[in-house]
Amino acid sequence: MTTGEERLVIVEICGNYAKLTLNNGEDNRINPEFIRDFNIALDKVLESENVTYMITTGRGRFFSNGLQLTDERVGGDEFWIEFNALVSRLVCFPILTIAMLNGHTFAGGAMLALSHDYRIMNSTKGWISFNEVFLNARLPHFVMALIKTKVAGDYARQKFVVNATRLVSSEAIKLGIVHADAKAEDLERTVHDFAQQRTKKINASHRWITHRIKLDLYDDLVKQKNIVGNTDNEELESKL
């Protein structure tokens, strides 16, 4: 087992799986150092040929409370290019990935969760939501593209994004945003059972084809990772 306790994303290699723990203060906010450490953690996962699945979770009450908006570097073009690149890397990561949502998962944290193949949520506590409407903030083009890719159906998108509903696990499962849930004390065991059922015949030789299939599947999304900000429809806006 290897760890890096000083990092904002801690990685543990445990035999055939890796566990990433978000470790940035009380609510695991996303900033440039967080993105850097997340990429370092992913590099370490890929160094171990025995790893067939990866779990990402948060430390404390939050999976992630989103962007660290008090940091003036966050929200600029350079930040979004780096964050979009991390999301794209996760979406096409060459092993199975599961976001283990231990607690509240908001905005940029929800974006991070959607970047994983599957999401399994704490049924005891925690909400998942895009709450930008309450901040009078638009979602950037790439975030919208991710939502359209990973969240199926107008009703689910309306509730999740437009209405900014704080979804508990049972609601998120009904909308197809989360794939399973469990009580806090059973959450990690449930995640491992879920992952092992899906990786029984998987080994390191399947990494290239797994990555290639994901890249083909999410090609339209990945092509948009360098679009920062919003793409405005001036004709529509003029009619409001």
Kindly report, residue by residue over 150-189, the tens digit of the pLDDT. 999 999 999 999 999 999 999 999 999 999 999 999 999 9
Q: What is the mean pLDDT of the chain?
A: 94
Render pLDDT for 13-52 as a digit per residue (tens, 0 to 9). 999 999 999 999 999 999 999 999 999 999 999 999 999 9
Render pLDDT for 57-81 as a digit per residue (tens, 0 to 9). 999 999 999 999 999 999 999 999 9
At 113, the amino acid letter reads A
Beta sheet of 53-58, edge-to-edge order: 9-14, 17-22, 53-58, 96-101, 118-122, 180-182
CA 188, 27, 165, 163 dihedral sign is: negative
Backbone phi and psi for residue 105, each to the nearest 5 degrees, phi listed first:
-135, 100
Q: Which CATH architecture has domain 9-236?
A: Alpha-Beta Complex (3.90)
Report the distance separating Cα 177 and Cα 224, nearest Å. Answer: 22
Helix (H, G, I), strand (E, B) or coil at 20: strand
Token pair, residue 230, equals 């919003």
**Strand 17-22 to 9-14 pairing:** antiparallel
Render pLDDT for 184-231 as a digit per residue (tens, 0 to 9). 999 999 999 999 999 999 998 999 999 999 999 999 999 999 998 776
DSSP conformational letter for 67? B
At 53, the amino acid letter reads Y
Report the distance separating Cα 157 and Cα 20, nearest Å. Answer: 28
Contact 114, 147 (CB under 8 A): yes
Helix (H, G, I), strand (E, B) or coil at 13: strand
CA atoms within 13 A on the CB side of 60: 12
